[in-house]
Amino acid sequence: MAEASRRTLLAAGGIGAAALVAGAPAASAVASARAARIPTRSSFAAVRGTVVKMRGPSGVVRAVVTDIGDLAGARAGDQLRYSVILRPKRPLADGIYRVSGPKLRSTSLFFANVDRRPGARLQAIVAAAPRGVRASVKSPHHRPGA
């Protein structure tokens, strides 16, 4: 199975980190996100400036949550559509990492380097789909029945 690049994921509707909640009313979208283990913006805001753990292919690395930002086209402060930037203690490659901390429920997100120096800062995009929107990422290499 082919791995999706950051560019492919971002081109597929901005679902780069990929959290999807389809069909949830706005009032219960945050509750649906929690049930699906999608971290809300406020869960990262609560640990901004503190150290969290990132578990991935190269083991456990400590990282500081440095910024939480708005996405283009999303409401300011949207709980389900935002970006989060972490500064790891050592360089890490783009990939899926399980992030956790004493005040942050463990969750897996796709992180990509956003600086020229690898590992200087990693960013995840959380973009839950609005009500009624079904989103999917299809590999160009996918063959039905294969």
The pLDDT score that the predictor gives to residue 21 is: 35
In a domain, 38, yes or no: yes
In a domain, 144, yes or no: no
Distance, C-alpha 6 to centroid of its chain: 12
In a domain, 113, yes or no: yes
The pLDDT score that the predictor gives to residue 117 is: 77
The pLDDT score that the predictor gives to residue 36 is: 57
The pLDDT score that the predictor gives to residue 45 is: 96
The pLDDT score that the predictor gives to residue 120 is: 87
SS3 for the chain is CCCCCHHHHHHCCCCCCCCCCCCCCHHHHHHHHHHCCCCCHHHHHCCCCCEEEEEECCEEEEEEEEEEEECCCCCCCCCCEEEEEEEECCCCCCEEEEEEECCEEEEEEEEEECCCCCCCCEEEEEECCCCCCCCCCCCCCCCCCC
Q: How many CB atoms lie within 10 A of CB 10?
A: 16
- The tally of domains found in the chain comes to 1
- Are the CB atoms for 88 and 115 separated by under 8 Å? no
In a domain, 94, yes or no: yes
Q: pLDDT in tens for each of the 146 residues of the chain?
A: 444 444 444 444 443 344 433 333 444 555 555 545 788 999 999 999 999 999 998 899 999 999 999 999 999 999 999 999 999 999 999 999 999 999 999 999 999 999 877 678 999 999 976 555 555 545 455 555 55
In a domain, 10, yes or no: yes
| pTM assigned to the model | 0.67
The pLDDT score that the predictor gives to residue 64 is: 97
In a domain, 47, yes or no: yes
Question: By residue range, what is the domain housing residue 49?
Answer: 6-127
